[in-house]
Amino acid sequence: MVAKELDYIRSKEGAADGEKDGGVYIDAFDAQDSKPKLTGWSKFIDDFKKVDDDELGLDPNLTETEKLAIKTANAPLNRRLKSRHLQMIAIGGSIGTGLFVGSGGALRNGGPAGVLIAYALIGVMMYCTVQSLGELAITFPVSGAFVTYNSRFVDPSWGFAMAWNYAMQWLVVFPLELVAAAIVVQYWNDEINSAAFVAIFWVVIVAINFFGVKGYGEAEFAFSAVKVIAVIGFIFLGIILAAGGGPNKEYIGGRYWANPGAFSNGAKGVCVNFVSAAFAFAGTELVGLAAAETKNPRVSLPSATKQVFWRITLFYIISLCLVGLLVPYNEQRIEDAKSSYDAAASPFVIAIEDAGIKGLPSVMNAVILISVLSVGNSSVYASSRTLAALAASGQAPKFLGYIDKTGRPLLAIIVQSVFGLICFITASDKSGEVFSWLLALSGLSSIFTWGSINLCLIRFRRALYVQGRSTDEIAFTSQVGVYGAYFGMTLNIVVVCLQFWVALYPLGGKPNASDFFNAYLAVPVIILFYFGHKIWTKNWKIYIRAKDIDIDTGRRELDLDVLKQEIAEEKAYLASKPFYYRLYNFFC
């Protein structure tokens, strides 16, 4: 990076972050200025106007990668998310239909042991991935986060493919979740017109996101709190039921592991469940995407990153272990599921129904409905921020980069909202076919996203080493280090390869084009984006040399000597504390 560009970024970011006041960063949008303060209707209208954004005056000799780093570092997003928002998003953000409903199909495909193996392996991989993401996002809390890291640390073409892959994933998830919410409502009355309910849910989610990042944060805080309470409650209930303490006084124990058995469909059943597990964990990375809109990511993100360990262990592994004890994999209600979102086929609901507990199945179904709305809410947030980052870097239509005075990527939110209207196709006879192909687009998207996050950390660490610098200047380092990143990336590659086998030879069927592309469509789409960008830019370099990687732009703390001293003081303070305190700090 040219020295004058670094000086410019330092002055720009210092102004954007505000001066440090007692260790707390003051949001630029909260600062008082000399302009007359608008109130009422005038302020409401003014908030929708584009934020004042001075031309960056970039040196035309800068590379595409350097320009992208500067633009994403200076996106005028509003930093309104607090520690409690991030922590609740980290704990319960991705708990949704993948766990509550999708685990039924996973149980049928792999059996109780197959479910635990698949979810545990993907869970360990997710822990490594979120650690990698935490290190990068705390060091570089820029607009678009991990969707722009690929262009910066790996290759612009790979970054283009991964960013559009991620944007498309959430674009199609939004209408899917709206339809899913309507299906969940049919648990109480299957004669309800689903089109009416998708309209109601569309209005609710769009309205939440028009309140800006604070609206998203508060909604997710409430949604996640409900989900976390529900899962903890089910864990206690499940233990009681398995031990014979339910109304039926029937001891269950490990009965269903013996008959019908621990595995269903052998090794292939476990492989199929890798994608089911990936779908269940999708959204875990949203903590990193929110870094650019967090008041002080250096304080908030480390704790949120560490808490992913507890979510994987407590909410997924333990609850799924109990599901495997309480529900056999050949349960007829799972076989008869009308769709992958049919709440009647939720093993959580089935376990409660079989125990003879009145009223509680409806409560669990209400939790499932909240989970679906939570994922829909996250999809609007994720896709709009990704599209805005793509526009800022010149990789999407420029109008998508419109950010208003309250920090909302307004036009990107509108585009996502309009795309969500596809949900009304639920009234068509062809809706099942359309949605299966939409789901195919997002099927493997998360796997590629997570693998790329780990690759970015590997490249970042390599750049630090080659440029003669060290992790002493990084406020938070991954607990599993670069070896964890290698493990996470390798496991993602293995899952993609195994999914090719499952797509080519589907479970219980013969090779056919329809099943193959339903399971593997994301791969050719990513390849098309990658080579399309190579051809368009005529940039045939496979990767950026480590010595050329920019490891400074986008940092909020740019005085590295002061930062190193603060980090050393923090480490010394932690070392002076008792063992139990250090253990708590490691995990929380």
Q: Which domain holds residue 275?
A: 60-557
Residue 40 placed within a domain: no
Residue 3 burial (CB < 10 Å; 0-12/13-18/19+)? Answer: exposed
Q: Which residues contact 167 (CB under 8 A, 6 or more apart)?
A: 147, 383, 386, 387, 390
pLDDT tens column, 525-538: 999 999 999 999 88
Structural contact between residues 240 and 246, judged by C-beta atoms closer than 8 angstroms: yes
Per-residue pLDDT averaged across 339-351, rounded? Answer: 79
Structural contact between residues 466 and 186, judged by C-beta atoms closer than 8 angstroms: no
Residue 96 predicted with pLDDT over 70: yes
Q: Is the pTM of this model over 0.75?
A: yes
- What H or E segment, with its residue span, contains residue 208? helix 194-210
Q: Looking at beta carbons, which pairs linking 328-331 to residues 24 or more positions away fall under 8 Å?
A: 328/256, 328/259, 328/260, 329/107, 329/108, 329/110, 329/111, 329/112, 329/256, 329/260, 329/261, 329/264, 330/108, 330/260, 330/264, 331/104, 331/107, 331/108
Residue 332's CATH number:
1.20.1740.10
Residue 562 placed within a domain: no
Residue in the structure block whose two tokens are 């109780």 = 112
CA distances from 124 to 87, 268, 486 (A): 19, 20, 12
Tell which phi-psi region holds residue 244, choosing left (phi > 0), alpha (psi between -120 and 50) or beta.
Answer: left
Residue 545 placed within a domain: yes
Phi, psi (degrees; rounded to nearest 5) at 581: -70, -45
Closest CA to 120 of 277, 256, 7, 245: 277
Residue 147 predicted with pLDDT over 80: no
Instruction: Please tell me the predicted confidence (pLDDT) of residue 14.
Output: 43
Residue 319 placed within a domain: yes
Instruction: Please tell me the predicted confidence (pLDDT) of residue 379.
Output: 87
Least confident of 95-109, 360-374, 574-588: 574-588
Q: What 3-state class would DSSP assign to 228?
A: helix
Q: Which residues pair with 25 in a beta bridge?
A: 20
Residue 275 placed within a domain: yes
Per-residue pLDDT averaged across 188-201, rounded? Answer: 82
Q: What percent of the chain lies above the pLDDT cut of 90? A: 20
Residue 585 placed within a domain: no
- C-alpha to C-alpha distance for 342 and 331, rounded to whole angstroms: 14
Token pair recorded at residue 354: 């079989």
- C-alpha to C-alpha distance for 58 and 35, rounded to whole angstroms: 28
Per-residue pLDDT averaged across 20-37, rounded? Answer: 42
Q: Which residues contact 117 (CB under 8 A, 6 or more apart)?
A: 110, 270, 273
Q: Which of 21-25, 96-100, 232-236, 269-273 is predicted most confidently?
A: 232-236
- C-alpha to C-alpha distance for 402 and 107, rounded to whole angstroms: 45
Residue 255 placed within a domain: yes
Residue 538 placed within a domain: yes
Residue 192 burial (CB < 10 Å; 0-12/13-18/19+)? Answer: middle
Per-residue pLDDT averaged across 464-472, rounded? Answer: 90
Instruction: Please tell me the predicted confidence (pLDDT) of residue 13.
Output: 41
Confidence of residue 376 (pLDDT cuts 50, 70, 90): confident
The number of distinct structural domains making up the chain is 1
Instruction: Please tell me the predicted confidence (pLDDT) of residue 533.
Output: 92
The verdict on whether omega for the bond into residue 260 sits within 30 degrees of 0, i.e. cis, is yes
Residue in the structure block whose two tokens are 């949900």 = 423
Structural contact between residues 107 and 327, judged by C-beta atoms closer than 8 angstroms: yes
Q: What 3-state class would DSSP assign to 255?
A: helix
